[in-house]
Structure 1
């Protein structure tokens, strides 16, 4: 009897992902990283019963792994800090509310450990002690299972991983420009520029101008333009997501226009008949009758078919039978022997 397909066979279960995104959205709406706000949202959505209703042990273990993978997905980059904190809290809550005995551990690839360390350092520098306590608690209870891959590998079986789209609202904005173009850096650039100007004035024969005189205002202007473009882009994306059906209608209309243009190109590529032949009407094609037979005979006369292998073989055998026997053969057919005897008798009587 074939084994039934497991219920939770994929790495991420779509209904669970939707519930997790709803929880993280509410936590982001509170604009807080405190564990008290997370616990209130957890109880409000009824996440305490997420592991209920699974009687079999194998299904429970698989669902625990799926839940941990879903939460760990939001704990790692490229999401912003608040969403990553929500992912960490979800890992802590899922680990302590699971019904599997012994408890299933959280798979964490070694390549992501540097992101966890940087996340810990940022939490300590930002004085978010709730986050530091939860992460230290998971490490102290040995809840993480450090592995090479984030999921189990199945040998001799090709399994294509489903690529789930990332939620644009949870992605973190890049802050490298604001970090680089800071007040301290601009002050240092101004001092270096002044020192370069004094050294250049001391050397009269130096025509080089390596640093522009208005370098600091230009850097401020470029950083402000980037921040304005970033805010405008995020606002446009959020408006498109909130519009919903209108965006889908635009997408449908664009696809219809594309299909119509493809059809027009394919129809225009058909070769039309010349004007001298347009008046001729295409009649029915005759497949039988005396005219058709006569045309086939004429075609066969013009292009004769070569003889078959059987005909060539019989022709060769007939030629060999008609050929005379060679004189050096020791054996002679019976007919020739009788002829020779008659010739000898005739010569003897004469």
Structure 2
């Protein structure tokens, strides 16, 4: 029996590349990497050019059984609000729908869409958790664009019979991570004292190995069809705990000063950094019970070991 062919978009990105490499390791599927620019995947599997911003550059999906769509215009902290939503829509909504329509017309059976926990919202009350079937409450342009893409995909699924699976991850970390998580590593690696030693929040994260495991489980699991899943490690950490664990993984002393949270919030508001403060000080907890009940999926990667591998990669490849 021929192994199913799985096309992964954004295959030179953090999640996309890890997904392709895992598919290659498992040998149960035939991955095809769809990407912009160069990639170390060249020579390991078939590679096709794909750019969400170019309507004419849709990949040929003939013979593809499943599409895993990880390509996106990602959230950037300094996006200008008045311009961001239009830019996000062009890529994350219009580009995604073009690809999904091509998939449906080409006979693709399933379309797995990597969305974002921002569709649920920005924060939870301490002890409360986002669930996959909660009413969406996106508040920024990126979250809105992901929600609109989800709605467009649901409508297309109803229209065409294409099976759609939506996965919403929170902050993803692991060896090679960039963006905000890499910035945290950089701060801690300098040994600079940080006034974040008294943060009593709880936040869910997801290790790259756990996220990829969930994605691949959804490739052919019959119960995944037309469902929404939240991704997570099943362990929640305060910002203070997270920074302490990362410091230990880097082999650095944890120089976290216990400044009261209300002072940090006041200073952040004063200097116009309330959004950053909300992410550092607020809670965002995720319920992954649906994954266990429908898919039999549980996160298997140990967070301490993943932190150690992440810190080692940072020190060997990124630290100056």
TM-score band by shorter chain is under 0.3
Query: Using CA pairs below 8 Å that are at least 6 residues apart, which structure has the higher relative contact order?
Result: 2
Tell me which protein shows more helix as a share of its residues.
1
- TM-score by length of structure 1 reads 0.26
Q: TM-score, normalised by structure 2?
A: 0.27
